[in-house]
Chain A
């Protein structure tokens, strides 16, 4: 199950709406091993495409260096689909290379850039196997254990 704060959830949806019809992408980092997505980092889609996304290579290095310095890992990796459902495409599955992450898909296909509905779904993608998981949107940060 993915537990995510309302403010972070809203920020991801806003990002997807804003970049429609291109795909939006980013991560939510959290402390290593915590499974708590706490720091939203919207990324530039270097592909600037309605059918593909890729983090810019220089931005990617900076992102991972920042996370390393903060003791973080990518807890959530998200991107939007702007014409299809919020389910991982074959390309998404083939290229998923963070087996510990929650892969979030947001679909803006219903005109959600204009305020329409969005789909927000989360998956584990490990060795080509996709497993959907429940998304729990929580009001505020959970107390640390």
Chain B
């Protein structure tokens, strides 16, 4: 079961420069574990303990996962996961 993960510029140091990586998982949490196995360092930039980091946005098929269960968001073969750092400041 392959899921396409689109990686933002700032995390491509962890993916050898790749913009898109393929990973597996039945939920976003499992997907993050799988990505971490092959691209160490990515997960901690997205997940803080048991939750998503406040200033990182994750979308599954264009839906913000904050409205679909966060890390428990279910995934299916062929889903597209987009990771985008928030553009924010004070």
Tell me which residues across on chain A come within 8 A of B59, comparing CB atoms: 61
Tell me which residues across on chain B come within 8 A of A51, comparing CB atoms: 90
Q: Which of B57, B82, B87 contacts A25 (CB under 8 A)?
A: B87
Tell me which residues across on chain B come within 8 A of A99, comparing CB atoms: 9-10
Over the window 59-101 of chain A, the binary record of Cβ atoms lying under 8 Å from chain B Cβ atoms (1 yes, 0 no) is 0110010000000011001010000000011111001111110
A96 touches B89 (CB 8 A): yes
A95 touches B89 (CB 8 A): yes
Tell me which residues across on chain A come within 8 A of B9, comparing CB atoms: 73, 98-100
With contact pairs A97-B10, A100-B9 given, residues A61 and B57 touching in the complex (Cβ less than 8 Å): yes
Which secondary structure dominates chain A's binding surface? mixed
Number of interface residues of B (CB under 8 A): 17
CA distance A27 to B88 in the complex (A): 12
Q: Tell me if A5 counts as interface (CB < 8 A to partner B).
A: no
Tell me which residues across on chain A come within 8 A of B62, comparing CB atoms: 61
Tell me which residues across on chain A come within 8 A of B8, comparing CB atoms: 97
With contact pairs A61-B57, A95-B55, A98-B9 given, residues A52 and B84 touching in the complex (Cβ less than 8 Å): no
Tell me which residues across on chain A come within 8 A of B55, comparing CB atoms: 95, 97
Q: Tell me if A54 counts as interface (CB < 8 A to partner B).
A: yes
Tell me which residues across on chain B come within 8 A of A79, comparing CB atoms: 89
Measured CB to CB, the residues of B under 8 A from A are 8-10, 55, 57, 59, 62, 64, 66, 82, 84-90
19 contacts between A and B (CB under 8 A): A43-B87, A47-B88, A54-B86, A54-B88, A55-B87, A55-B88, A57-B57, A57-B64, A57-B86, A60-B84, A61-B57, A61-B82, A73-B9, A89-B89, A92-B90, A95-B89, A97-B10, A97-B85, A97-B86
